[in-house]
Amino acid sequence: MRYVGSCHCGDNRFEVEKEFAASAIECNCSHCSRKGYLLWFAPRGHFELKTPMSKLGVYTFNKHVIEHHFCKRCGTTTFGFGTAPNGAETVAINIRCLDGVDLDKIERQPFDGKSL
């Protein structure tokens, strides 16, 4: 299944192809909880950025292993690039930025990022 996503102003657009399991990670770390992230992970090869990287800013913190990308114009944080525990390149999609996802039907899986 192909999903389309964007930031608030539309300067940052992307697509991701993967079956959606109707669940998302809700991390309690200082960054994710402040941003209200609901994260869905996919292999990096299943992600396609439709706009130039030059329209995005990047933020890293703590161990600096995840690149949290955000729109330079509106500030919306749509996705992050990182590496899965098995070494595979991955993308963490903020499902709040995907078109057509009913957030009321998403099962939230708590993740204790605060303790890392």
Domain at 37, CATH number: 2.170.150.70
* pLDDT reported for residue 116: 82
The DSSP string of 49-62 is E-S-GGGEEEE--T
Asked if residue 2 lies in contact with residue 13, where contact means CB atoms within 8 angstroms, the answer is no
Decide if 6 is inside a domain.
Answer: yes
* pLDDT reported for residue 108: 96
pTM of the model: 0.90
Q: Which DSSP category does 98 fall into? A: B
The single-letter code of the amino acid at 106 is: I
The single-letter code of the amino acid at 80 is: G
Decide if 116 is inside a domain.
Answer: no
* pLDDT reported for residue 61: 85
Decide if 22 is inside a domain.
Answer: yes
Asked if residue 69 lies in contact with residue 56, where contact means CB atoms within 8 angstroms, the answer is yes
Decide if 24 is inside a domain.
Answer: yes
| Count of the separate structural domains present in the chain | 1
* pLDDT reported for residue 22: 87
Mean pLDDT (10-residue bins), the chain, 116 residues: 96 94 91 92 97 95 87 96 93 96 94 90
Decide if 25 is inside a domain.
Answer: yes
Decide if 115 is inside a domain.
Answer: no
Domain encompassing residue 42: 2-110
* pLDDT reported for residue 66: 87
Residue whose structure tokens are 């995005």: 56
Decide if 78 is inside a domain.
Answer: yes
